[in-house]
Structure 1
């Protein structure tokens, strides 16, 4: 169990570090990357207006990326670590099959912060 915790401590920051800045992704026209980045960071999905403030948005690509990121973020096996790291949960996993388990594990991590 301790090995799993160490693995999670190592992998979670890498997931966030791999996410490029919005500006760089928009400059490349990578709207799928913008959506993925938002979801993997636990952010709520942006509105069409918010996307267009960044540039000429491809909403379909954004939504596709967001869905991919959501599947990874909402994994209850990582929820404890997300809560323990102090990241606030914005409820983006509601409606997913593992939503309740994710929320419980996140809350457990949140409560265990030192």
Structure 2
């Protein structure tokens, strides 16, 4: 049941998410960071952010930290791997980072076979 709720929540987040360009025009740097984090992407460089507009890096970083903590839930990592989503290493250095990678790898192996 928990996996279903997490998957449904993720679908809502991604289904309703605005594009990065729109968010940058609105000045929603925290939302851009959150979306990057919750998708398991690596943090954007300051250079990449500035290409989108007059970025507020502290807001982006704050949103990214919230999002990456949600994504890096080791209890959900197996499902991420099983779904075929590639892991970028974004959880490395976090307390459960190694466990996340191991669970993701287990799911990825099942997905690949």
TM-score (norm 2): 0.88
2:78 corresponds in structure 1 to 80
Q: Which aligned segments of 4 or more residues in structure 1 are displaced greater than 2 angstroms?
A: 3-20
Structure 1 residue 65 displacement after superposition: 0.4
Of 40, 43, 59, the match for 1:42: 40
Instruction: Give the 5 Å matches for 1:1-114.
Output: 3-113=1-111
CA offset digits 1:64-110 (Å, max 9, x no partner): 00000011010111111111111110001001000011111111111
Output the CA distance in 2 between the equivalents of 1:14 and 1:82: 16
| Deviation digits for residues 25-49 of structure 1 (CA, Å, limit 9, x no counterpart) | 1121100000011111111111111
Q: Which one is further off, 21-30 or 87-96? A: 21-30
Would the alpha carbon gap of residues 88 and 72 (structure 1) be closer, same or farther in structure 2, given more than 3 Å must change? same
Q: Secondary structure at the match of 2:78?
A: helix
Q: Under a length normalisation based on structure 1, what TM-score does the superposition of the two structures give?
A: 0.88
Runs of 5+ in structure 2 lacking a partner? none
In structure 2, C-alpha distance between the alignment counterparts of 1:84 and 1:39, rounded to whole Å: 19
Q: Which runs of 5+ in 1 are unaligned?
A: none
Q: Report the aligned-residue RMSD.
A: 1.7
> For this pair of structures, how many residues does the alignment match?
112
Write the distance in 1 (CA, Å) between the matches of 2:13 and 2:80.
11
